[in-house]
């Protein structure tokens, strides 16, 4: 069959290129599954260790839909972090042990460009579209040289990405550099007032030594064919159209991805430190509806013991039921283990500490969970909102401060813990910026039944209901996904692409 005819008959083929970090991989795997569930072919390209972890997910999909063709595949490309002085198993950001390694890690990931080009060149017919993580700007050259349309997926919401773009367009960084550190600035052109300081301003990769990452990512974004965002129109209606206009390209809001279908949680919970998903569910089953606060700070941020102890004391002092996730990397010191055991003994019946990786979606979707203390990573925020759970917001770095503004000031579903200064990802919270009293107060205010707490809960549940509608047939995100797939049905050359709106 001639390649052109074959392309016309095959389902559109999307090649997805996530960054090797849980917060980036998880939504892109969900997106790949969404595409495959709607009849498109989806190939997710990553490093070998991540590919091995993810194959369980696709196996699960294949067995769940044995009658359909295997439309979802995981592709691994050779990756040698040791060539860059990183540990040989450093194939995911969760293996990074030092803040200084982040820029090196991204430099190493760039080496995937060669193997990626070889992989794409060998595909017959050529893929219809490449969906790359905003940080993987190295995919741009490959897509351009092969004439393949390219959409970028950026993890944060439209609110954040719009702030970032407007700040860039209006030279906000330069204005801030000329002003004092504590001065607040309005983000120009936003449809709602947004105030930032140097510390909370939008913009990834401004840290010294990683500016090249930002320059390359912005350049690749400008030459892309549009954006895919894990959000939904009813959540961000004020910002989606403005973002599309500022970007000058289609913005496909296809989420919340997590509502499509729960990923295979059993695989993720392998490292739950002895507490299985069924034990967690059984514990939650014992609790009253909306009575438990879930506490987790994503996949990357690590707390030093002093800060961990403040969190634990705060939860204890709040008098509320809690389910707290403490990461494997935070458990290294024996004194932490001993301290956690004594906390569990003191709070027996109303407190559960999960060590390692928790099945977050299973927890957030349980009726007993009525609040979430979060670091405001967008996946966690959108997963919480999708399940109607209000939040205590404790941003740590990157987009998280602006995500907090969206959650608290715009959507009215969150209560800030009051942090205004970022911490470095791995080790900088030595001074324990959040004290036990802050935690206890915020948790009590979120979970107690006062008027403000009730209003937050009601709004969260309303957004949760709208999120479900968005993902159902006829809903905005569902129909946009139909539109995206349809726009690549005939071949995959750029001429066949249609706009979103």
Place of tokens 């002092």: 317
395 binds ligand UDP (CB under 6 A): no
325 binds ligand UDP (CB under 6 A): yes
Phi, psi (5° rounding) for residue 323? Answer: -130, 110
- Figure out which of the listed residues 139, 307, 379, 405 binds ligand UDP, where binding follows CB under 6 A: 379
For residue 124, the minimal CB distance to ligand UDP (Å) is 35
Upper half-sphere CA count for residue 318 (Cβ side, 13 Å): 31
Cα torsion angle, 127, 133, 139, 141, sign:
positive
- Using the contact rule CB under 6 A, the part of the chain among 111-119, 273-281, 356-364, 440-448 near ligand UDP is 356-364
383 binds ligand UDP (CB under 6 A): yes
109 binds ligand UDP (CB under 6 A): no
For residue 178, the minimal CB distance to ligand UDP (Å) is 31
What are the counts of helices (DSSP H) followed by strands (DSSP E) for the chain?
20, 15
Q: Does 449 sit behind a cis peptide bond, omega within 30 degrees of 0 on the bond before it?
A: no
322 binds ligand UDP (CB under 6 A): no
For residue 489, the minimal CB distance to ligand UDP (Å) is 31
- Using the contact rule CB under 6 A, the part of the chain among 43-51, 109-117, 129-137, 373-381 near ligand UDP is 373-381
For residue 378, the minimal CB distance to ligand UDP (Å) is 5
377 binds ligand UDP (CB under 6 A): yes
419 binds ligand UDP (CB under 6 A): no
DSSP-derived letter for residue 77 is -
Phi, psi (5° rounding) for residue 196? Answer: -135, 160
For residue 375, the minimal CB distance to ligand UDP (Å) is 6
CB closer to ligand UDP, 253 vs 379:
379
For residue 448, the minimal CB distance to ligand UDP (Å) is 26
- Using the contact rule CB under 6 A, the part of the chain among 59-67, 191-199, 372-380, 482-490 near ligand UDP is 372-380
Q: Is residue 387 within 8 Å of residue 165, measured between CB atoms? A: no
CB closer to ligand UDP, 300 vs 484:
300
For residue 153, the minimal CB distance to ligand UDP (Å) is 13
296 binds ligand UDP (CB under 6 A): yes
In terms of C-beta density within 10 A (0-12 exposed, 13-18 middle, 19 or more buried), how is residue 78 classed?
exposed
357 binds ligand UDP (CB under 6 A): yes
For residue 300, the minimal CB distance to ligand UDP (Å) is 4
Q: What is the dihedral of CA 159, 178, 106, 166, to 10 degrees?
A: 30
- Figure out which of the listed residues 152, 239, 322, 378 binds ligand UDP, where binding follows CB under 6 A: 378
Place of tokens 């972890």: 53
Helix (H) or strand (E) holding 13: strand 13-17
Rounded to whole angstroms, the Cα distance separating 206 from 203 reads: 7
323 DSSP β-pair partners: 294, 352
For residue 155, the minimal CB distance to ligand UDP (Å) is 6
Q: Which of residues 264-283 bind ligand UDP (CB under 6 A)?
A: 268
What is the per-residue DSSP string for 135-199? T-TTHHHHHHHHT--EEEE-SS-HHHHHHHHHHHHTTHHHHHHTS-TT--EE-TT-SS--EE-TT
For residue 208, the minimal CB distance to ligand UDP (Å) is 21
Q: Is residue 187 within 8 Å of residue 113, measured between CB atoms? A: no
* Binding residues for ligand UDP, total number by CB under 6 A: 17
In terms of Cα–Cα distance, which of 218, 128, 94 is closest to 168?
A: 218
For residue 388, the minimal CB distance to ligand UDP (Å) is 16
360 binds ligand UDP (CB under 6 A): yes
What's the gap between Cα 429 and its chain centre? 22
What's the gap between Cα 173 and its chain centre? 25
What's the gap between Cα 259 and its chain centre? 14
- Using the contact rule CB under 6 A, the part of the chain among 170-178, 292-300, 330-338, 449-457 near ligand UDP is 292-300
- Figure out which of the listed residues 226, 298, 414, 464 binds ligand UDP, where binding follows CB under 6 A: 298
- Using the contact rule CB under 6 A, the part of the chain among 105-113, 295-303, 310-318, 404-412 near ligand UDP is 295-303
Q: Which of residues 13-42 bind ligand UDP (CB under 6 A)?
A: 22-23, 26
452 DSSP β-pair partners: none
415 DSSP β-pair partners: 392
- Which residues would be at the binding site for ligand UDP (CB under 6 A)? 22-23, 26, 268, 296, 298-300, 325, 357-358, 360, 377-380, 383
């Amino acid at each position: 069959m001639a390649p052109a005819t074959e392309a016309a008959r095959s389902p559109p083929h999307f090649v997805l290129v996530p960054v090797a970090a849980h917060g980036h991989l998880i939504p892109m795997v969900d997106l790949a599954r969404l595409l495959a569930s709607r009849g498109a072919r989806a190939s997710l390209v990553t490093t070998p260790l991540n590919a091995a972890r993810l194959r369980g997910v696709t196996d699960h999909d294949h067995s769940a839909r044995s009658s359909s063709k295997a439309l979802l595949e995981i592709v691994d490309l050779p990756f040698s972090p040791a060539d860059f002085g990183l540990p040989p198993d450093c194939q995911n950001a969760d293996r990074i042990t030092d803040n200084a390694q982040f820029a090196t890690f991204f430099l190493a990931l760039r080496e995937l460009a060669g193997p990626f080009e070889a992989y794409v060149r060998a595909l017959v017919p050529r893929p219809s579209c490449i969906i790359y993580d905003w940080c993987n700007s190295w995919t741009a050259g490959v897509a351009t040289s092969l004439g393949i349309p390219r959409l970028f997926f950026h993890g944060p919401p439209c609110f954040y990405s719009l702030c970032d773009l407007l700040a860039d367009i209006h030279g906000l960084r330069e204005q801030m550099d000329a002003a004092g550190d504590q001065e607040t600035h309005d983000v120009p052109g936003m449809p709602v007032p947004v105030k930032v300081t140097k510390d909370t301003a939008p913009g990834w990769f401004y840290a010294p030594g990683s500016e090249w990452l930002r320059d390359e990512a912005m350049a690749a974004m400008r030459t892309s064919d549009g954006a895919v965002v894990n959000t939904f129109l009813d959540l961000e209606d004020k910002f989606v159209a403005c973002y599309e206009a500022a970007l000058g390209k289609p913005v496909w809001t296809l989420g919340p991805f997590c509502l499509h279908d729960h990923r295979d949680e059993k695989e993720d919970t392998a490292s739950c430190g002895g507490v299985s998903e069924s034990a967690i569910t059984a514990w939650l089953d014992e609790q009253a509806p909306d009575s438990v606060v879930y506490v987790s700070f994503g996949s990357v941020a690590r707390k030093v013991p002093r800060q961990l102890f403040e969190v634990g004391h705060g939860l204890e002092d709040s008098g509320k039921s809690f389910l707290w996730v403490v990461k494997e990397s935070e458990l290294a010191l024996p004194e932490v283990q001993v301290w956690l055991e004594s906390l569990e003994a003191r709070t027996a019946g109303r407190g559960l500490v999960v060590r390692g990786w928790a099945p977050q979606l299973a927890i957030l979707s349980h009726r007993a969970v009525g609040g979430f203390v979060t670091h405001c990573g967008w996946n966690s925020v959108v997963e919480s909102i999708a399940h109607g759970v209000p939040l205590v917001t404790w941003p740590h770095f990157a987009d998280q401060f602006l995500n907090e503004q969206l959650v608290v000031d715009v959507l009215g579903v969150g209560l800030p813990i009051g942090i205004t200064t970022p911490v470095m990802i791995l080790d900088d919270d030595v001074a324990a910026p959040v004290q036990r009293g802050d935690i206890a107060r915020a948790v009590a205010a979120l979970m107690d039944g006062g008027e403000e707490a009730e209003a937050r809960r009601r709004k969260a549940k309303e957004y949760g209901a709208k999120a479900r509608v968005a993902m159902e047939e006829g809903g905005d995100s569902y129909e946009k996904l139909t539109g995206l797939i349809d726009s690549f049905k005939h071949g995959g050359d750029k001429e066949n692409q249609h706009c979103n709106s």
